[in-house]
A and B are shown apart, each in its own frame.
Chain A
Amino acid sequence: MPPHPSLPIHPGQWARPLLHWWVGWWQIVHFGAQVAVLALAPSSYRRTQRALLVRSMYLATWPLLPGFTVLAALIALVIIRIVLATSLSYGLTRYALDVLVRTLVLELIPLSAALFVAVRYSLRAGEEIRAMRLQGKFETQLASGLDPTRDAVLPRALAGMFAVITLATVSGAVTLLLAYVSLYGFSTWGLEAFTRTVGQVFGPTIVLIFALKTAFLSLGVSIIPMVPLPHEGKGAAAQASADLALLARLLAVILLIEVGSLVGNYY
């Protein structure tokens, strides 16, 4: 009988990528659970800790707020004009506001706010945490009785979450204002109809999904960049590969949350 032509497979070789995939996700979940426990613990909000948290929130949010608001307003204005012109040409202006609120306020703005905060703040904060780990500051703090997760990670995570929520809220309000002005001009006669339409869009289910989506997006972009990597400190190539894997996981989480919200809203 001739020998089998296929390459020999070592036992456990096929399971290694799967194991790496699972370990990577488990680290994210485990680290997220640690941060969530700390975020819910009253000891994390002592007087000194509160001041640190508030400062972190300000420093994470304020530098991003004007730029993102202007950018979001410009993009929203373009989309509003496109939707209005299209609906006008098809005689469907009564649905224009509905489409705008759903498209911009519910979907695009939270997503873009999360991505903006991830790029401009969270990835940098993750680098700082990683640098602290590599420099051994975590061990030093633990040895001196301090909790580096509570003192270094939690403020950055909460600051990132706050930044996402703030950017989304402010840009959403600005977009609603722009939509009203584009539809009715600088007058108040359309306020009632506008409010009624907005109320129709923001049903209880939609509001719940919107709130959960924003919360999970902010949580994802704030925590995932700070998750400890398995290859930290094992060379530049391994570091780059781990960074890419982290970024891919961040995008996958954002995509998953977005798809989940769309399914919840429209199915």
Chain B
Amino acid sequence: MDPQPETAPPVAHLDLKARLLVLCVLLLIAASVTYVLYARGAFERKQTLVLVAENSEGVVVGMDLTFAGFAIGRVNRIELSDEGNARIVVDVPSKDAHWLRESSIFTMEKGLVGATHIRAFSGILTDPPLPDGAVRKVLSGDASTEIPRLVASARDLVVNLTALTAADAPLANSLRNVQTATERLNGPRGALGMALGNDADANKIVSALDRTNTLLARLDRLVVKADGLAAKADTQVFGASGVMSETRATVVQLNGLLADARNSLRRADALLQEAQGIASNTREATTDLGALRAEVEASLRKVEHLVNEVNRKWPFARDTEIKLP
């Protein structure tokens, strides 16, 4: 039975067109399914990488593992390990696996806006490649964890600011004092009145300044007199008949005296040399005296021996003393 109304015009080659349309649609559906499977990585050879993180918050199945901004892997499964850690199982196609090395580092970053990112960093690309099924710890950086600390710091800051800007705060008092000081600075006594605090003391300072000025004037006169004295002293000391010229003459005389003394010493030196010659002659004479004495002593011993012989032979005489000539 024809489901179309009778007014519809007949379609040429209806059966052929209908079959072609159905075939094309089926092919399109099949191609779409194949494309989605290809996009999901169903036809790729893969190796597995297990990333261990403290928590899997923000990680979803299907998210990318990136290297230098390029996706090289995809999270396939997230599971809880026996140690209570999150195990993120990542499928890495074999054609991209060479970017991952033994020394590669993996980070998981959670921004304030946008999704969590898992990144790989390979510093030394000459290291051995990461094996299939490798388990690596992932370093996590979470910007949102800084927010409570930031809020606490901001709260402290606000409390401090509130305390600073309160009506009875030290800062307000200081500002009031500054205002008072400024008013006094602009007053008739100026900075002096501000520094001393009352007019009586300021008057004392002013009178002290006046007396100081008087003193300085007298000092000026004294200095003029001292200048005159100095000029006179200069004449006395350095003048033509001053102390200095006489001193110079005295020095000349002293030089003459020193020359005479030098000559006298030279003569004394000659005398000493002569005395030294005399001394040497005396030493030689002393040597000769030694020899003479030895001879005398030998002669005396001979005489003593002779007397002893006489005494032995002449028993009358008891006086053995021998009187030497």
Within 8 A of A (CB), among B18-45: 18-19, 21-22, 25, 28-29, 32, 35-36, 38-41
Does A173 make an interface contact (CB < 8 A)? yes
> In the complex where A125-B3, A170-B28, A196-B39 touch, is A203 in contact with B21 (Cβ < 8 A)?
no
CA distance A62 to B22 in the complex (A): 10
Is B36 in contact with A61, judged by CB distance below 8 angstroms?
Answer: no
With an 8 A cutoff between CB atoms, is A51 at the interface? yes
Instruction: Verify B22–A54 contact, CB threshold 8 A.
Output: yes
Contact with B along A138-164 (1 / 0, CB 8 A): 000000000000011001100100100
Q: Is A59's CB under 8 angstroms from B11's CB?
A: yes
Q: CB distance A62 to B28 under 8 Å? A: no
For B25, the chain A residues whose CB sits under 8 A away are 61, 162, 165-166, 169-170
Question: Using a CB-CB cutoff of 8 Å, which residues 36-58 of chain A contact chain B?
Answer: 51-52, 54-58
**CA gap between A170 and B31 in the complex, in Å:** 11
**Is B17 positioned at the interface, with any CB of A under 8 Å from its CB?**
yes
Report if A198-B36 is in contact (Cβ < 8 Å); known contacts: A152-B1, A203-B61. Answer: yes
Contact in complex: B39, A199 (CB < 8 Å): yes
Contacting A61 at CB < 8 Å: which of B14, B21, B28, B64? Answer: B21
In the complex, B62 has a CB within 8 A of chain A: yes
Out of A52, A155, A196, A202, which one reaches B64, CB within 8 Å? A196
Answer yes or no: A225 CB below 8 A from chain B CBs.
Answer: no
Give, as a whole number of angstroms, the nearest-CB distance from A202 to chain B. 5
Per-residue A-contact encoding for B39-53, CB less than 8 Å = 1, 0 else = 111000000000000
Q: Select B71's contact among A92, A128, A152, A196, beta carbons within 8 Å.
A: A196
A-side contacts of B62, CB under 8 Å? 199-200, 203
The answer on a CB contact under 8 Å between B36 and A52 is no
Which residues B235-268 have CB closer than 8 A to chain A?
Answer: none
With an 8 A cutoff between CB atoms, is B139 at the interface?
Answer: no
Q: Please, how many angstroms separate the alpha-carbon atoms of A125 and B8 in the complex?
A: 13
B325 close to A (CB within 8 Å): no
Cβ-based interface call for B81 (8 A): no
| Min C-beta distance of B151 to chain A, whole Å | 25
- B14, B39, B71 interface centre (most CB from chain A within 10 Å): B39
The reply to whether the CB of B4 lies closer than 8 angstroms to some CB of chain A is: yes
Q: How far is the CA of A47 from the CA of B40 in the complex (A)?
A: 39
B24 CB to closest chain A CB, in angstroms? 9
- From B1, B21, B40, B61, give the contact of A57 (CB < 8 A): B21
State the Cβ distance, B124 to closest chain A Cβ, in Å. 27
CA distance A169 to B5 in the complex (A): 28
B194 CB-CB contact with A under 8 Å: no
A162 to B40, CA, bound (A): 27
| Bound-state Cα–Cα, A57 to B4, Å | 11
Give the docked Cα–Cα distance between A56 and B36 (Å). Answer: 30
Q: Is the interface of A mostly helix, strand, loop or mixed?
A: helix
A5 CB, nearest partner CB in chain B, Å: 58
Question: With A55-B15, A57-B18, A200-B62 as given contacts, are A151 and B1 in contact (CB-CB < 8 Å)?
Answer: yes
Which B residues are CB-close (under 8 A) to A199?
A: 36, 38-41, 62
Query: Which residue of the partner chain, among B8, B19, B71, contacts A54 with CB atoms under 8 Å?
Result: B19
- Complex Cα distance, B74 from A173, in Å, reads 24
Q: In the complex the two chains form, what is the Cα distance from A224 to B272 in whole Å?
A: 159
What CA separation (Å) do A162 and B21 show in the bound complex? 11
Known interface pairs A165-B25, A196-B71; A62-B3 also in contact (CB < 8 Å) = no
Q: Roughly how many angstroms separate A172 CA and B35 CA in the complex, as a whole number? A: 13
**CB of B130 closer than 8 Å to a CB of A:** no
A135 CB–B CB distance under 8 Å: no
- Residue A195 CB within 8 A of the other chain: yes
Tell me if A252 is interfacial: C-beta within 8 Å of chain B.
no
Extra A-B contacts (17), CB below 8 Å, given A55-B15, A195-B39, A199-B36 = A55-B14, A55-B18, A57-B22, A59-B3, A59-B11, A61-B21, A151-B1, A152-B3, A162-B25, A165-B25, A169-B25, A170-B28, A173-B28, A195-B35, A199-B38, A200-B62, A203-B62
Interface, chain B (partner A; CB < 8 A) = 1, 3-5, 8, 11, 14-15, 17-19, 21-22, 25, 28-29, 32, 35-36, 38-41, 61-64, 71, 74, 114
Pairs A–B under 8 Å by Cβ, sample size 9: A55-B15, A56-B3, A59-B8, A169-B25, A199-B38, A199-B40, A199-B62, A202-B39, A207-B36
